[in-house]
Amino acid sequence: MIVAIDGPAGAGKSTVARKLAERLGFRYLDTGAMYRALTWLAIREALPLAEGEPLGELARKNPVTFDEAGRVFIGGCDVTSAIRQSRIDRMVPVVARHHDVREVMRERQRELAAQGNAVIEGRDIGTVVAPGAEVKVYLQADPAIRASRRQAEWPDIGADALATDLRSRDESDSVRMQPAEDAELIDTTDLEVEDVVTRIEELIRARSLATS
């Protein structure tokens, strides 16, 4: 079974998806980490981020891998922490926008999805990467709450800078951020992580009953 979890930055996808995968005993795939890892490598290689073709080539030659503990690797480097830096936050939408990059990433994400039960989080999982996913969820939350969640992760960055950053990421991600028609929308503004996870578990149960 594939559980697709999409939604904008700060909606709670990672925390929810990780916890859900743990409870279900499913693999967890963070597709945002793949775009982040490629961005990290492109900056290290000093590639122009405005050009899609060399970035697609770089992605093809350097598949992103994950270990059992969820660490992220590209080009032989463990980039788990490096890809969470704010400079990556700022540059990743520029890289993720390119068609050549998305093609390589989606191919790889489908390969990983084909390996069996998984919770996959991203922006285009329910619509493009795994349109046949048995359960699709789209998480959303009030922009102020999303900014404050980011602030908790990055206490050293000013609130205004974070809010501006989030807004510009939303704008550049928005074309890829439409919920799938058959996705269940969950507003996490006033919900605890546990409540969201339980709600998705109920959807999975209902889906399993419907198909058994």
Query: What string marks each residue from 36 to 75 as x (binds ligand DC by CB under 6 A) or -?
Result: x---------------------------------------
The reply to whether 149 sits near ligand DC by the rule CB under 6 A is no
Interface pick for ligand DC out of 32, 52, 70, 143 (rule CB under 6 A):
32
Stretch that binds ligand DC, among 30-38, 59-67, 74-82, 156-164 (CB under 6 A): 30-38
Name the one range near ligand DC by CB under 6 A: 71-79, 88-96, 137-145, 187-195: 88-96
Does position 92 interact with ligand DC (CB under 6 A)? The reply is: yes
Residue 68: φ, ψ to 5°: -60, -30
25 or 102: whose CB is closer to ligand DC? 102
- The answer to the question of residue 173 lying near ligand DC (CB under 6 A) is yes
**Cα dihedral: 9, 119, 124, 42 (round 10):** 70
Q: Which of 176, 178, 201, 203 binds ligand DC (CB under 6 A)?
A: 176
**Distance of alpha carbon 192 from alpha carbon 34, whole angstroms:** 27
Q: Is 78 exposed, middle or buried (0-12, 13-18, 19+ CB in 10 A)?
A: exposed
Q: Report the residue count for the chain.
A: 212
98 binds ligand DC (CB under 6 A): no
Could you tell me the smallest distance in angstroms from the CB atom of residue 211 to ligand DC? 26
Among 123, 136, 149, 150, binds ligand DC (CB under 6 A): 123
By CB under 6 A, is residue 113 in contact with ligand DC? no
Among 59, 96, 104, 196, binds ligand DC (CB under 6 A): 96
Say if residues 101 and 59 touch (Cβ distance below 8 Å). yes
**What string of H, E and C letters represents the secondary structure of 134-155?**
CEEEEEECCHHHHHHHHHHHCC
In the complex, the residues that contact ligand DC under the rule CB under 6 A are 9, 31-32, 35-36, 92-93, 96, 122-124, 169, 173, 176
